Amino acid sequence: MKGYRDYFLKKLGWFILTVVVAFTLNFILPRLMPGDPVAAIVARMAQGMSNATGVQAVYEQYTRLFATDQPILNQYVIYLRNVLNGDFGYSISQYPRTVADVIGSSIWWTIALQLPAIIVGWVIGNTLGALAAYVRKGFDKVLLPISIFLSNLPAFGMAIILLVIFAVHLKWFPTSGGYAYEMVPNLSWEFVWSVIVHYQLPFWSIVLITIGGQAIGMRSMAIYELNADYVKYARFLGIKDNKIIRYVFRNAMLPQITGLALSIGTMVSGALVAEIIFNYPGLGSTILSAVLGGDYPLISAATLIITFMALVAFFVLEIIYGLIDPRIKAAQSE
């Protein structure tokens, strides 16, 4: 599959390049602001911390970390080296935990929530959209307004609606947290069940919003494809409808995958806000508390990680697309 290998390498190269650019941006932006970043950090820290030796230790660490006394190129290299080692420094708002530690504990919650939610939402949304395009009649008339409504809601809007209806009024689900607050994470069945229960509302918020957007897109694509010339031609040659339908949807799906890749950024941000509303212990809440606590290193690291994850997702999607669309292999091999 020589053709595919070229495609893969091209996408890989692009991926590496964007990671580098993202990293550089993450490095440069704060330093463009006037003033000494370390002093600013320390000033904010001093408000929250009462331990003088603690403040001193963090200050020293940051001077070392940022190397503000050295030329900027050195700073970049040092930062790069630290990041690759997983050393993001200490968290100001949760001292003495390190940033890596804080992120480490919340990142898995976020991935476990968002990844399945986005995938499930995408699958359901596309299926509904495809059905609406094929069946039309009543189903379509019902689905379309619902999807329009869903896709217009901001992510946090859906989160709040679900929260109010199901958690506050009906009391079917808890209102916040990743698990019951009195429990300590362990592998017991109760804990796992508690996690599952707490998982439901944030999960379904993200799923529902995704469904809205995907259903509309897929419906338009499917309608377009269903009226395509090759469908008519295949019919004229006597090919059965079910076979034709299968190919129509396959063709309609391809741009949807691309669409998904392009909107990963928006979806992730929306999901983060949803997390916040539910006090879900993922990166969203981490960022919120970091902002409230003026914890620059935590924010910087969190944004870097989120960007990285989004880039990885994008890369994976592009690879999958290359595998599914047969034209890619063919085109590349010429």
Partner 1 sequence: MARVVLQVNELTTRYITRFRENIYAVDHVSLKVEEGKSLGIAGESGCGKSTLALSLMGYYFAPLHYTSGEIIINDHNITGMDPDEVRKTILGTEISYIPQAAMNALNPTRRVINFIEDVIQAHLPEVSKKEIYELARERFELLGLPAEVLQKYPVELSGGMKQRTVIATSVILSPKVLVADEPSSALDVTSQKMVIKMVMDLMDKGIVKALVFITHELPLLYNVTDDIMVMYAGQVVEKGTAEEMVFDPIHPYTRALMGSIIVPESGLRNVKLTAIPGTPPNLKNPPSGCRFAERCKYVRPECRVTTVNLNEIGNGRAYRCIIPEEDLRRMYKSEQQK
Partner 2 sequence: MVGFGIFSAIVLTVLIYPLFIDDPPLGIISRGTFLAPGIYVNVYDSVNFTPRYTLIEDEAAARRINSQLKPEDRVAMQEWLVGAGVPEAEINTEDTAALLDLWHSRFDPTVRIPGMTNADRNYYIRLTASLDGLLAAEGAIVAAPNETTGALEQRGLIEQTDYVNIGEVPNFRILPLGTDNFGRDVLTELVSATGVSLTIGFVAGIVATTIGLLLGLFSGYMGGLIDDIIVFITNLFTVIPSFVLLILISFSIGQEQRGPVTIAIVIGLTSWVWTARAVRGQVISLRNRDHVNLSKLSGHSVLYILAMDILPYIASYVVMALILQISSGILAEAGLSILGLGPRTTEVPTLGLMMNWSMIYQAHILGKWWAYFPVILTIALITFSMNLMNTGLDRVFNPTLRG
| % helix, strand, coil for the chain, step of 5 | 80, 0, 20
Q: Pick from 183, 234, 257, 273 the residue near partner 1 by CB under 8 A.
A: 234
Residues 290-309 that bind partner 2 (CB under 8 A): 291-292, 296, 299-300, 303, 306-307
Distance, CA of 185 to CA of 188 (rounded, Å): 9
Q: Pick from 254, 273, 288, 319: which binds partner 1 (CB under 8 A)? A: 254
HEC string of 3-56 equals HHHHHHHHHHHHHHHHHHHHHHHHHHHHHHCCCCHHHHHHHHHHHHCCCHHHHH
Partner touching 246 among partner 2, partner 1, none, CB below 5 to 8 Å by kind: none
Question: Could you say which of partner 2, partner 1, none residue 268 binds, taking C-beta under 5 to 8 angstroms by partner kind?
Answer: partner 2
Considering CB distances under 5 to 8 angstroms, the limit depending on partner class, which of partner 1, partner 2, none binds residue 189? none
Q: Which does 236 bind (CB under 5 to 8 A by kind): partner 1, partner 2, none?
A: partner 1
Angle (CA) 238 239 245, round 5°:
140
**Interface mask (CB under 8 A) for partner 2, residues 176-215, using x and -?**
x---------------------------------------
Nearest in space to 209 (alpha carbons), one of 166, 160, 167: 160
262 binds, among partner 2, partner 1, none (CB under 5 to 8 A by kind): partner 2
* Stretch in the footprint of partner 2 (CB under 8 A) among 13-21, 60-68, 95-103, 249-257: 13-21
- Residue 86 backbone phi and psi in degrees, to 5: 80, 15
Q: Which stretch binds partner 2 (CB under 8 A): 97-105, 121-129, 149-157, 201-209?
A: 149-157
Partner from partner 1, partner 2, none contacting 40, C-beta within 5 to 8 A by type: partner 2
201 and 163 in contact (C-beta within 8 Å)?
yes
Q: In whole angstroms, how close is the CB of 233 to partner 1 at the nearest point? A: 4
Contact between 181 and partner 1 by CB under 8 A: the answer reads: no
The site partner of 310 among partner 2, partner 1, none (C-beta below 5 to 8 Å per kind) is partner 2
Q: Which of 139, 183, 265, 323 binds partner 2 (CB under 8 A)?
A: 265
Q: Which member of 230, 262, 291, 320 binds partner 1 (CB under 8 A)? A: 230
Q: Is residue 314 involved in binding partner 2 (CB under 8 A)?
A: yes
Site for partner 2 contains 46 (CB under 8 A): no
Identify the DSSP state of 302: H
Binding test (CB under 8 A) with partner 1, winner from 233, 266, 292, 320 = 233
Q: Which amino acid is at 181?
A: Y
Rounded Cα–Cα distance for residues 109 and 56 (Å): 33
Q: Roughly what angle, to the nearest 10 degrees, separates helices 241-277 and 296-324? A: 180
The answer to whether 116 contacts partner 2 (rule: CB under 8 A) is no
- How far, CA to CA in Å, does 232 sit from each of 107, 209, 327? 50, 35, 22
Min separation Cβ 157 and partner 2, Å: 5
Could you give the 3-state DSSP secondary structure of residue 251?
helix
Cα four-point dihedral sign 175, 177, 178, 181: negative
Q: CA angle 272-278-282, nearest 5°? A: 45
